Amino acid sequence: SSGPRCPVCAEPCVSLRLLPCLHSLCTPCLRRLGPLEEPGPAAAALSVLCPVCDAEVALPPGGVGQLTPDYLALSRGWAAAAGCDLCTDGAAVRRCLTCGADLCLFCCQAHRRQKKTASHVMMELENAKDCSQAGKPLFCPSHPTEELRLFCERCDQPVCRDCIVDSHRQHPCDFTSNAIHRHGDALRELLKSTQHHVGTLEGVLNQIDNMGSAVHSRAEAVATEICLFASGYVKAIEEHRDQLLKQLEDLKVQKENLLHLQKAQLQQLLLDMRTGMEFTERLLTSGSDLEILITKGVVASRLAKLNNIAYNTHPSVDDGIQFSPQQRAGQCCGYEVFGAILNKVVDPARCTLHGEDLHNARQNQMTGFTLLCNDTTGERMGRGGEAVWVTISHKDKRDCAVKPTVCDNGDGTYHISYSPEEPGLYAVCVYVKGQHVQGSPFTLTVKNKFRKHQGVFHCCTFCSSGGQKTARCACGGTMPGGYQGCGHGHKGHPGCPHWSCCGQVKKSLECLERPPRDTSERSLLRTVVL
């Protein structure tokens, strides 16, 4: 009951089999292992899952019975739990290497007193290494009475004498004491290589543990930073909120005070006018002619003064208070905050139009202008989001209209771009909140397509043509010596760079398509760049 036990069922066993993963199981537990896949007709080996390490291992073609027995575990279990082979009463403490018997202390003394066994060599069972070397003799599974003393090199397994003359005939065999040196050295080399990998893996695992600790520490430090940042950010947002609320309260009080002042002034003006009206009506209805004539000067002066007092027919302020959560509001407690109170209200009458090509455009050429939005005081709005509407329609052709594109720049300016397809006069209307802006509507003149130059923009014909006498220029200039083109300082040269095809002196202007001055001899030779 105290012998080797199976790691799966924990039952004592006398037949442990060694899996390729080097875990030993008893035969019943091995037979209970189910295959990972259904074996097909071409399957060479059956694979099972080791219940100890969960590794997939392949069984030999003969099945569980062909697995190597774990003699090492069995010998250690026997050494730890075996009793005396002679008296069967005491626990074995030594082993006779000559006869292979495990003996108790009393039988060991009797073993040495007998003449036949006095020369036998005894060994302590406490030393595990010695126990393994002094294991009980192993017998051949095919020939139970024969001890395994030989090793077949071809079949790579221990054999007995009967096996050599039977199934291992003519196989190269040697004694186990000789074969152990070759195979033991090979195992030691593999063991050394494995030990090297074990050391490397232990080092890597140590690094992984250290990195895990570093990651944990770093995560805690970053979590602390996040908490500090969040608390500071919340504090900044709360302070910014308080500033916005105070700004809103001040703005409300300012608007209310202005409205109260305007109301008081208008109430006083209304009271003065009613007083003047009542006095004048009573004078005209109840006063005599003489009384009217005597007081008319004072009454007329008072009423004229009241009528000349200028007053605003609309409230002096409006309710244009808005909140823009996306607008940057600068720094607060070291954090960038967003959200601002917008008090400005766009005034279409103060919005202006700008652009070099505001009143002129070219056919099928993209052009445009800029709308600048201002508030009631004439100051730039500084933000976008206004309702801008633009229409461009032909004055002579009702069905001819241009579809413009309005781009909100987000800073109070809007770029209007368009490409007219027909030349002529167009009416351009620009609306903000449904009202015309300053300068709207206006007339747009669309000219024909830009006429490209067919020549070159040169200083003179002599330079651009490389000194050719037959090269001519539309400016009409000539040079002595039979040169039909212009030259610096000679007759007809305009005195500045110009186009050879039309004589135009401005490089950006379209071609005039003007014929040469002298067409009697030959047509104009368009100069090319050499």
The CA distance from 176 to 174, in Å, is: 6
Tokens of 434: 């449904």
CATH of domain 348-447: 2.60.40.10
513 has pLDDT over 90:
no
Predicted structure pTM score: 0.44
CA nearest to 428, candidates 408, 413, 446: 446
Lowest-pLDDT range of 75-84, 181-190, 304-313:
75-84
pLDDT of residue 39: 54
pLDDT in tens, 318-364: 787 888 888 888 888 899 999 988 877 788 888 999 988 788 888 88
The rounded mean pLDDT for the chain is 83
Ranges of beta strands (E only) in 114-248 are 122-124, 150-152, 157-159, 173-175
Helix, strand, coil share (%) of the chain residues, nearest 5: 35, 20, 45
Higher pLDDT, 380 or 66: 380
Q: What gap in Å lies between CA 10 and CA 433, rounded to an integer?
A: 90
Kind and range of the H or E run holding 197: helix 176-286
Q: What pLDDT score was predicted for residue 448?
A: 81
pLDDT in the model for residue 518:
45
Residue 7 or residue 203, greater confidence = 203
When pLDDT is averaged across residues 23-38 and rounded to a whole number, the result is: 79
Domain boundaries, the chain: 1-80, 82-130, 178-308, 348-447
CB 25 within 8 A of CB 17: yes
Q: Helix, strand or coil for residue 135?
A: coil
Amino acid 129: pLDDT: 41
Q: Evaluate the CA torsion angle 214, 220, 226, 229 in order and state its sign.
A: negative
pLDDT band, residue 527 (cuts 50/70/90) = very low
- Output the six-digit token pair for 47: 């694979």
Structure tokens at 194: 């494995």
Q: 1-80 with 348-447: one CATH topology? A: no
Check residue 209 and give its pLDDT: 94
The torsion of the CA quartet 2, 5, 9, 13, rounded to 10 degrees, works out to -90
The one-letter amino acid at 179:
A
**How confident is residue 178, by pLDDT bands cut at 50, 70 and 90?**
confident
The C-alpha atoms of residue 293 and residue 183 are separated, in whole angstroms, by 149
How far is it, in rounded angstroms, from Cα 20 to Cα 33?
14
Q: What is the pLDDT of residues 225-257, one digit of tens each?
A: 999 999 999 999 999 999 999 999 998 998 899
Superfamily of segment(s) 1-80: Zinc/RING finger domain, C3HC4 (zinc finger) (3.30.40.10)
Over residues 459-471, the pLDDT tens digits come to 898 888 888 888 8
Average pLDDT over residues 166-193: 87
Per-residue pLDDT tens digits for 459-505? 898 888 888 888 888 888 888 888 888 988 888 888 899 988 888 88
* Range name among 303-307, 365-369, 381-385, 518-522 with the lowest pLDDT average: 518-522
Instruction: Tell how many helices (H) and how many strands (E) occur in the chain.
Output: 8, 25
By residue count, the chain amounts to 530
Strands 442-447 and 360-362: parallel
According to DSSP, residue 51 is labeled T
Amino acid letter for position 184: G
pLDDT of residue 76: 60
